[in-house]
Amino acid sequence: MKFIGIAALCALGATGTTAAQSAAADQFADGLAEFRREAGIPSFSVIVIENGEIVSESYLGFSDDEGDVATGADTSYFVASVTKAIAGTTLFLADRAGEIDLDTPLADAEDWQGFCEWFPDSSIVFAGGDINGVTVPDFACAGQTLRNAVNMRVNGEPGTDFLYNPLVFARISRHLDEVHSRDFRSLVYDYALDPAEMRDTAAGWRDAPRGHVLSHLAPPMHRVDGRFVKQPLPDDDFRAAAGLYMTARDLARFDIALSDGTLMSDALREEMWTPPMNADGQPSDYVHGWFVQRWGDERLIYHTGWQPQSYSAIYLHMPERQLTLIALANSEGLWWGSRPDRAEIHNSPLVQRFFEAYGMTE
């Protein structure tokens, strides 16, 4: 269906869903208050979408540190790396439109040259090392392209294998800001935010026209000795890897626009989500800013977000079921310590509850 705006969708109700689906959404929603307490989440916003319609919205807790302001539909969050899914979608569409070329060498930008003088020999593990027993192949600057960066194929032989590398992904926006005729923020607005009518999303602290989003921001919180303590706000401005602030409803707007033809055709969307092959002949777990995973007969398209001791998020889309889970939190309570070399959203405690409610088994 054509995207008609969140208020109209809510007014229409779940007319495109079955009774079993609605019951599953209700069952899942019934357990969210308990999950919030267990996970340590002060402000928690959760939306379930079925067949292009919001069937469940839950706004739990408080969006301030005094417990005076209840979480609501206008509560916004820093969504951390969920930004990558929207940035990757923007880059895919801009490439198909001929506005940018994903095969452009990153070395075309002076910023990349400065980055390469520092990053390979830094102590940052994404330049090479070990993350919880996972070997990170060495990073080399030569031969890298925008496509390698957006597909997370920059460690080891460029363009060969997937390894999650958020630092290199973040350079995408710096590259385009330097060499392109207009900045990355304007591309994201033109290809994603504006077509999806995402009016409650701010692209970083300096997005002055969207100041109302930041005025409704749930502050970052971390539990210390049994109580929640307010944390410093993220200090980086908008970039390809992170920096979007939004409400759960605005992320739902994006998801619906992605599915109903507003942003792209079904064929183009499938192209965007078709991963390249790794050196071992298996499909990559990441493409165009999205994790892609097979779990039994299910295809899981998703991204997570994690700002340590501050924010966490889950955005999971299941295209064959036309089912989406969106969860935003102002603590790291949704984070479970995922690996950098594979997609494993099924290990998320919240996603496990979601699958249980919908009777999904591997």
**pLDDT exceeds cutoff 50 at 6:** no
Task: Identify whether the C-beta of residue 53 lies closer than 8 Å to the C-beta of residue 253.
Answer: no
Q: Helix, strand or coil for residue 251?
A: helix
**pLDDT level of residue 345 (50, 70, 90 thresholds):** very high
* Interval 208-226: pLDDT, tens: 999 999 999 999 999 999 8
**pLDDT exceeds cutoff 50 at 233:** yes
Q: Give the contacts of 262 (CB within 8 A, at least 6 positions apart).
A: 2, 3, 195, 196, 256
**pLDDT level of residue 16 (50, 70, 90 thresholds):** low
Task: Identify whether the C-beta of residue 46 lies closer than 8 Å to the C-beta of residue 58.
Answer: yes
Q: What single letter denotes the amino acid at residue 267?
A: A
* Interval 152-209: pLDDT, tens: 999 999 999 999 999 999 999 999 999 999 999 999 999 999 999 999 999 999 999 9
- Which H/E stretch holds residue 9? helix 6-12
Q: Average the pLDDT over 236-252 and give the result.
A: 96
Distance of CA 156 to the CA centre of its chain: 25
What angle is formed at CA 68 by the lines to CA 65 and CA 69, rounded to 5 degrees? Answer: 90
Indicate the average pLDDT of the chain: 93
Q: Average the pLDDT over 259-284 and give the result.
A: 97
Q: Average the pLDDT over 37-62 and give the result.
A: 97
**pLDDT exceeds cutoff 50 at 10:** no
The closest alpha carbon to 313, from 78, 64, 59, belongs to 78
pLDDT score of 3:
32
Q: Give the contacts of 81 (CB within 8 A, at least 6 positions apart).
A: 166, 241, 242, 303, 304, 305, 306, 313
pLDDT, greater one: 124 or 66? 124
**pLDDT level of residue 66 (50, 70, 90 thresholds):** confident
pTM attached to this predicted model: 0.94
**pLDDT level of residue 236 (50, 70, 90 thresholds):** confident
Spatial distance between the Cα atoms of 49 and 310, rounded to a whole number of angstroms: 26
CATH number of 6-100+180-357: 3.40.710.10
Helix extents (H) in 135-292: 146-150, 166-179, 184-188, 211-215, 248-259, 266-272
Domain ranges of the chain: 6-100+180-357
pLDDT > 90 fraction of the chain, expressed in percent and rounded: 89
Q: Residues in the chain, how many? A: 362
Task: Identify whether the C-beta of residue 50 lies closer than 8 Å to the C-beta of residue 205.
Answer: no
What secondary structure letter does DSSP report for 294?
A: E
Spatial distance between the Cα atoms of 27 and 14, rounded to a whole number of angstroms: 16
